[in-house]
Amino acid sequence: MPPDTIPSPRERPALAAARSRFSAPAVAQPEEPPHPSPAPLPGATPAAVAPASHPCREALIAFALAFALIVAAYLAIATPAAWFPQAVAKDWAPRMFALARGTGSLERDMLVATASGGALLVTVETDFRASDYAAIAWSATNIPDNVDVRLIWRSDYAPTKINSAAIGVAAGRLRPVVVAGDPNWIGRIRGLALAINGTLAAPVRISGVSARPMGIVDVARDRVAEWTAFESVTGTSIDSVTGGANIQDLPLPILLAVTVAVAALLWFAFARYRGRTIALPLALATLFVTAWMLDDLRWSWNLFRQARAATATYAGLDWRERHLAAEDGALFQFIEGVRAKLPTEPARVFVAADAHYFRGRAAYHLYPQNVYFEPYRNALPESSRLRPGDYLVAWQRRGIQYDSAAQRLRWDGGAPVSAELLLTTPGAALFRIR
């Protein structure tokens, strides 16, 4: 067919078929093999299944980190001498003590002593190197807050010199004295003494004295012992919660509060770097609940021990025996004798005691008598307000004077009244106004 010839519409299908028969077959191009993906490293997690970080998890990590940092910083600052000393603590028992001033006796491996002429001096012979021990701790109770208490020692460096340092008193107990750094704490310590100057309302109970190296481990052990100390149920337990020992250098609630604050700052800085500060309320709630639970665990453990102690004290006893076994058992026994002296019909009864707890408890045991007591003030009405037939119950109350020969009663320097002594026990009495 000439090149300029144009096929008709009828010839076009035949021409296309002829061309297909004589055309070269198309060569199939080989498929390119897919590129192999690199094998994952052993232990690696694919990115598609990597666990997403959670604000609560991050808050817990920040809490643990902040707690460790704060405790480490506290121990580094609070340790008075070497962080890891080689010496071990030395203890002296009451049987090794000597009374230079005052009187006392051993009761159940405890020295019970009273002052003589307003002074009490307890001594013990020792022999240790001063540089090995940073603190001296006397274990004593019933120490008034208004007396002067001092640690006294002598050394072979200046045998004739008497050295002393003040001892702090808190809740009737003595605080340890850090003597490291005192220029007189030098050489070998040949003797220790406890001096108390002042009026003692009750005998002092001394259970021992110890010399402590006060390294980091000792300081940490003391703090943990303070947090976990058994807090028994007392007459004031409903009004106050100490949370361990009465004396604490670092109370656990304060440590937890500071930890929450530092952990919140750490979490916020990390979240701001990643642009996820929107979860701040959830992180703060996690930190608060964590601190709350840690403090509550201490409280729950103490409650369990209180329940166990109560079971051992009261199990199998009737109501009267339980009252006698309670903390105010001596008061209950005295009130039993008072009730036997009171008339059947309710009379006016005035209750006096230095401690407001005993005033309230005595009034409770005396009901349904017409009882009067001051719940908040240690005070009695003026003697002119009492009339014949009234009764006065005094329990461990100072300022009450009775002249048995003249049968005259007075209190707090007021005018005397005529009264009859009906019942008396050590530290307590019942009077009837005439």
Tens-digit pLDDT profile for residues 129-158: 999 999 999 999 889 888 999 999 999 998
- Amino acid 151: pLDDT: 96
Mean pLDDT of 217-231: 87
- Amino acid 334: pLDDT: 94
- Amino acid 229: pLDDT: 83
Tens-digit pLDDT profile for residues 324-367: 988 788 999 999 999 999 998 999 999 999 988 899 999 999 99
Q: Which residues of 151-176 are buried (b: 16+ CB within 10 A; e: fewer)?
A: bbbbbeeeeeeebeeebebeebbbbb
Tens-digit pLDDT profile for residues 196-213: 998 887 889 999 999 999
Domain boundaries, the chain: 90-214, 324-433
User: CA angle, corner 247, sides to 166 and 301, nearest 5?
Assistant: 160
List C-alpha distances in Å: 190 to 132, 151, 211. Answer: 14, 14, 13
Q: pLDDT band for position 376 (50/70/90)?
A: confident
pLDDT at 243 over 60: yes
Percent of the chain residues topping a pLDDT of 90: 54
Tens-digit pLDDT profile for residues 46-99: 444 444 568 899 999 999 999 999 999 999 999 988 899 889 999 999 999 999
Tens-digit pLDDT profile for residues 7-47: 555 556 555 555 555 454 544 455 555 555 555 555 555 44
Mean pLDDT of 360-381: 91
pLDDT at 104 over 60: yes
Write phi, then psi, for 109 (nearest 5 degrees).
55, 40
> Residue 212: which of 79, 71, 76 has the closest Cα?
79
| Cβ(390)–Cβ(350) below 8 Å | yes
CATH architecture assignment, domain 90-214? Sandwich (2.60)
pLDDT at 414 over 90: no
- Amino acid 420: pLDDT: 93
- Amino acid 6: pLDDT: 58
| Cβ(122)–Cβ(97) below 8 Å | yes
Residue by residue, DSSP assigns 73-86 as HHHHHH--S-SS-S
Better-scored residue on pLDDT, 48 or 320: 320
- Amino acid 16: pLDDT: 56
- Amino acid 393: pLDDT: 95
Q: pLDDT band for position 124 (50/70/90)?
A: very high
Q: What is the mean pLDDT of the chain?
A: 85
Residue 109 Cα to chain centre, angstroms = 26
- Amino acid 241: pLDDT: 58
